[in-house]
Amino acid sequence: MTNLHTAYELFDAWFLLVLSFVCALFASIHALMTKPDPRSAFGWIVMCWLFPLGGPVLYGLFGINRVRTRARQLRGELRPPRAPWRNAVAEVPADHLMRIGDTVTQWSRIPGNAIESLENGENAFPPMLAAIAGAQHTVWLATYIFETDPVGRQFIAALAGAAARGVQVRVLVDGVGEWYSWPHAVAELRRAGVTTARFLPPRLLPPRLSLNMRNHRKLLLVDGTVGFLGGMNIGGREVGKRGSRRMADLHFKVDGPVLRELGEAFRFDWQFAAHETLTVPDAPAACGTCLCRVITEGPDEDTDKLVSVMLGAVSMARTQLLIMTPYFIPSPELSSALQSAALRGVDVTVVLPERSNLRYVDWACRRWLQPLVERGVRVLLQPAPFAHTKLLVMDDSYAQIGSANLDPRSLRLNFEIALEVYDGATCRRLGQYIIEARDRSQLLSAATLGALGLWAQLRNSLFWLLSPYL
């Protein structure tokens, strides 16, 4: 009996040893073959061999990026639109930055557009509501947050009125973003007779509780003749004075033939969420001087298009690079590019909120700022209200507007939309907006960051370590 017991113990020991070896081997091979960063791959491989079973289990839980695979599975046979319509751009020679966009986005460069800046909800919402009220054929709206406060109910009433007139009204609300308000906007819209869909709503059966793969795009397209995009959600926090909830933001009115591409982007998202195929209106006539290109970004894409185009803009800046963003957790590549631009004499200015609505992101951000400030990047902290604007301007000749923040969630995990703008007058106007914000903000120095107490430095470093998941 003793010998049998000993044999069982020996078998158990050998079984655990072999199991640990096999798990560590498979996890190591997976990390070696899939991780883009050798430091990350090496770290996971070491953990898998130093901690038998525990290391491979942790790698399986946190080391495997399932977002892109899951996004592609959910999208099924759908694929992001590729150059759905091309305008003649032979008369517009492509510079190096345009060629980057041509290659990585495969969207058209469309001349003849007009871009108008709309600061805060009190200036953005009235023309949006007026466009809905005057709609004759189609109203397509996509938003991350749709509040049911008094401002949100103005939009619900306007959309319901358009639907009652026989206009094709389609509203797409993110399935997580709608939880910012109660009662939910989707239910209220449907009760008002508006055709509405949720984008990947969380559910228990079958389980889908992920906070990733959110549709962060904000679009309003009316009759294919006028559009609005930017970072502004639908709700009262964008309007008036509401204390700590007040936000400052910049939205954009778009006119011109690029509206057809914006319509293609909405059509694709709506087909995925609502299983209905829409017909995109024909492109309107040229009406301005802006050469524009749509960039759609999402975890189901093959390349990090927004990051590639941003890196191209940073590397080609010669005199000035202006950035405004509410959340700033740059990738190592973007951080290095900004430092290199500053070192070669470019005026690199990054305007951030002094305090955002996500304190843990602020703490992680401070840890990222140290090397930037030390190498000449001017970082300024804008006082309240919380500035939610997303804007990049290069050399008064190129700008990027849209919904994306400069953090991993926007650039890797969310579905975002941006618009490239090539036009001197428009880019100078957008650059001036950032400069005016810079002039009323406080310059952050290396000495200020270095003077933080030990606890603050430890806290910032901890959230910096977690920044890929924030």
Positive or negative, the CA dihedral 238, 417, 378, 446 is positive
Bridge-partner residues for 139, per DSSP? 169, 222
DSSP 280: P
DSSP reduced 3-state for 117: strand
Query: 149: how many CB neighbours lie within 10 A of its CB?
Result: 14
Beta strands in 235-346 (DSSP E): 247-248, 250-255, 290-297, 320-324
Alpha-helix residue ranges (DSSP H) falling in 412-465: 424-439, 446-450, 454-465
**How far apart, in whole angstroms, are the C-alpha atoms of residue 11 and residue 14?**
5
Number of other residues whose CB lies within 10 A of the CB of residue 260: 22
Q: What is the DSSP string of 217-245?
A: --EEEETTTEEEEES--BSGGGSS--GGG
Q: Dihedral through CA 367, CA 369, CA 372, CA 376, nearest 10?
A: -130
Q: Which residues pair with 276 in a beta bridge?
A: none
Rg (CA), the chain: 24
User: CA-to-CA distance for 356 and 365, rounded, in angstroms?
Assistant: 11
Tell me the backbone φ, ψ of residue 170, rounded to 5 degrees.
-130, 125
Q: How far apart are the first and last CA of the chain?
A: 56
Cα–Cα distance for residue pair 456/464, rounded to 1 Å = 12
Instruction: Please give the pLDDT value at position 90.
Output: 42
- pLDDT on residue 459: 87
Distance of alpha carbon 167 from alpha carbon 135, whole angstroms: 7
Q: How far apart are CA 352 and CA 379, in angstroms?
A: 7
pLDDT at residue 447, as a whole number: 87
The whole-number pLDDT of residue 236 equals 86
The pTM score is 0.85
DSSP per residue over 356-382, as a string?
-S-HHHHHHHHHHHHHHHHTT-EEEEE
CA torsion, ordered 228, 67, 332, 229, to nearest 10 deg: 0
Position 78, amino acid:
L
Q: What is the pLDDT of residue 84?
A: 47
**H or E segment to which residue 140 belongs:** strand 138-143
The pLDDT, as a whole number, for residue 298 is: 80
| 3-class DSSP assignment, residue 321 | strand
Structure letter (DSSP) for residue 146 = B
Question: From the first residue on, what is the mean pLDDT of each consecutive set of 10 residues in the chain (470 residues)?
Answer: 58 68 75 64 70 71 56 56 48 70 85 96 96 97 94 96 97 90 91 94 68 87 97 85 70 97 94 92 94 87 80 94 95 92 96 90 89 94 92 95 89 89 96 95 89 85 75
Q: Is residue 141 a contact partner of residue 170, using CB atoms and an 8 Å limit?
A: yes
List the Cα angle 55/58/60 in 5-degree steps. 110
**Which residues, in sequence order, are CB contacts of 238 under 8 Å at separation 6+?**
120, 121, 124, 125, 151, 232, 247, 249
How many CB atoms sit inside 10 A of residue 464's CB?
A: 18
Backbone dihedral angles phi then psi of residue 268, each to the nearest 5 degrees: -65, -45
**In the Cβ-directed half-sphere of 347, how many Cα atoms lie within 13 Å?**
12
C-alpha–C-alpha distance, residues 440 and 461, integer Å: 29
DSSP H or E segment with residue 113: strand 110-119
**Burial class of residue 252 (count of CB atoms within 10 Å of its CB; 0-12, 13-18, 19+):** buried
Nearest C-alpha neighbor of 342 from the set 322, 326, 361: 322
- The amino acid at residue 470 is L
Q: Decide: helix, strand or coil at residue 106.
A: coil
pLDDT number for residue 36: 61
Six-digit token string for 282: 């024909």
